């Protein structure tokens, strides 16, 4: 009976989630977990190598790993909601409780991550999933597209056309992050923790408002929900054709969108850069994200590729544990209260450290999952989600 009321786990989703968390780890290492302190001087050859590592890593992964993570968040909501629907239950209100628990995990992660944690943004934006959970597929797709068009950014731009004196709201994000940087450099551990879970989280949410991340995240959640409803991650001939078409369309779209974004960012108007530029930047990143997702799904059908990325499945199954533990480890490695290696690590060395951390986490995942069904934080989240009820 249990088998008939639960959606089978989809391997490629675990591997894709593992890829996203790995990519986040590598990007965060290059950023020193948002602690921009680097060597004051390096040999010329290393400076050139650092520049290449930075450009390659950020071009391939920055903004895309987060998007994949958000896409799969919406997909996971579908899986959990669908499993409960098969039992005649509405997952909606249990999901809201689950998001309250996630806010706790977001606070834990933010304590060690001075820029504020994206999980808190997910908690806030997840309300859209609760609202649309009973909508039709068509309504969800249309809403996802509308969110992704970034209507608020276009509203600001259009207002500026009618009123040349129009300015964007000043959310004081720069000043907040300057204060975050100040107490981080001071190296007092308790000031660091308290500042991160208060000011850091506030700065992160306010930055997300100005960067258009709220609507982008909502759109990605709904696209993930739609993909789940259409079972597009389930391997069938028609679904593989869909991903091939998606790959072609996204690949063709990426170049002109990127080119337009670059041209817009050269505008003398900061308002245009922050509105139209933000919209085009998100569109070109979304196109590249679809290239990555579609390529991964299609390549995963090949035995050699599946074998090569097999460790990502273990990593993806423990994504919450890995995501939070990487912030804790990164803070210990780079920040003044820890080993304070930031001033000695350029981009290349930081990437190597990131790869070593990833391999260590994979090894831990494989050991842990050989003894348990879920990661340690996943187990807590799962048990507390269903506390007081029988699934």
Return phi, psi of residue 74, to 5°. -65, -40
| Distance from C-alpha of 118 to C-alpha of 131, rounded to nearest angstrom | 21
What is the per-residue pLDDT for 355?
A: 98
Cα separation of 90 and 125, whole Å?
Answer: 20
Would 218 be classed as within a structural domain? yes
In a domain, 171, yes or no: yes
Look at residue 4 and tell me if it is in a domain: no
Residue range(s) defining the domain that contains residue 273: 9-383
Domains in the chain, number: 1
Mean pLDDT of successive 10-residue stretches along the chain, which has 391 residues: 57 96 96 94 95 96 93 97 94 96 96 90 98 97 98 96 93 94 93 95 94 96 98 96 98 97 95 96 97 97 95 96 97 96 97 98 97 96 88 52
Report yes or no on 389 lying in a domain: no
- Spatial contact of 271 and 238, defined as CB atoms under 8 Å apart: no
Considering the domain boundaries, does residue 391 fall inside one? no
365 CB-side CA count, 13 A: 25
Q: Can you state the percent helix, strand and coil of the chain, rounding each to 5?
A: 75, 0, 25
* Cα 324 to Cα 350: distance, rounded to the nearest angstrom: 18
- Residue 391's pLDDT is 52
Q: How far apart are CA 184 and CA 331, in angstroms?
A: 10
pLDDT digits 0-9 by tens, 273-296: 999 999 999 999 999 999 999 999
Look at the chain and count its residues.
391
Task: Specify if 14 maps to a domain.
Answer: yes
CA dist 370 and 200 (Å) reads 37
Strand (E) positions, 72-221? Answer: none
Give the DSSP letter string of 200-238: IHHHHHHHHHHTTHHHHHHHHHHHHHHHHHTTTTS--HH
**3-class DSSP assignment, residue 319:** helix
Q: Which two tokens mark 142?
A: 């249309």
End-to-end C-alpha distance for the chain, whole angstroms: 13
162: left (phi over 0), alpha (psi -120 to 50) or beta: alpha
Residue 203: inside a domain = yes
Distance CA(312)–CA(295), nearest Å, equals 15
Distances (CA, A) of 74 to 83, 123, 127, 166, 169: 14, 12, 11, 36, 30
User: What residue ranges in the chain does DSSP mark as E strands?
Assistant: none
Tokens of 260: 């337009």
Distance (Å, rounded) from C-alpha 39 to C-alpha 43?
11
Considering the entire predicted model, what is its pTM? 0.95
pLDDT at 143: 98
The predicted pLDDT at position 375 comes to: 97
Tokens 């896409």 -> residue:
71
**Both tokens of residue 82?**
């669908």
Residue 388: inside a domain: no
């Amino acid at each position: 009976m249990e088998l008939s009321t639960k959606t089978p786990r989809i391997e490629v989703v675990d591997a894709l989630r593992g890829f996203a968390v790995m990519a986040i780890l590598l990007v965060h290492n290059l950023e020193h977990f948002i602690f921009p302190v680097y060597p004051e001087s390096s040999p010329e050859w290393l400076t050139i190598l650092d520049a290449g590592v930075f450009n390659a890593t950020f071009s391939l992964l920055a903004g895309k790993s987060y998007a994949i993570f958000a896409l799969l968040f919406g997909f996971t909501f579908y899986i959990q909601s669908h499993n409960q629907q098969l039992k005649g239950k509405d997952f909606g209100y249990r999901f809201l409780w689950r998001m309250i628990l996630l806010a706790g995990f977001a606070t834990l992660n933010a304590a060690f991550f001075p820029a504020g944690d994206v999980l808190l943004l997910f908690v806030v934006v997840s309300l859209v999933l609760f609202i649309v959970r009973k909508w039709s597929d068509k309504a969800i797709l249309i809403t996802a597209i509308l969110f992704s068009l970034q209507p608020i950014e276009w509203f600001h731009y259009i207002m500026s056309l009618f009123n040349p004196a129009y300015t964007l709201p000043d959310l004081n994000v720069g000043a907040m992050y300057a204060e975050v940087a100040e107490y981080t450099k001071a190296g007092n551990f308790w000031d660091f923790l308290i500042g991160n879970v208060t000011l850091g989280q506030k700065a992160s949410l306010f930055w997300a408002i100005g960067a258009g991340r709220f609507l982008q995240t909502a759109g990605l959640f709904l696209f993930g929900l739609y993909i789940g409803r259409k079972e597009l991650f389930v391997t069938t001939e028609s679904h593989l054709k869909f991903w091939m078409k998606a790959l072609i369309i996204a690949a063709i779209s990426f170049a002109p969108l990127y080119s337009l974004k670059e041209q817009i960012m050269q505008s003398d108007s900061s308002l245009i850069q922050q509105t139209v530029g933000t919209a085009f930047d998100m569109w070109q990143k979304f196109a590249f994200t679809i290239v990555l997702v579609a390529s991964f799904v299609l390549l995963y059908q090949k035995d050699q590729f599946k074998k090569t990325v097999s460790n990502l499945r273990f990593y993806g199954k423990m994504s919450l544990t890995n995501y939070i533990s990487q912030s804790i480890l990164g803070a210990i490695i780079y920040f003044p209260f820890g080993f304070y290696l930031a001033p000695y690590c350029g981009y290349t060395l930081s990437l190597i450290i990131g790869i070593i951390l990833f391999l260590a986490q994979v090894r831990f995942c494989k050991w842990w999952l050989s003894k348990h069904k879920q990661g340690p934080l996943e187990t807590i989240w799962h048990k507390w989600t269903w506390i007081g009820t029988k699934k």
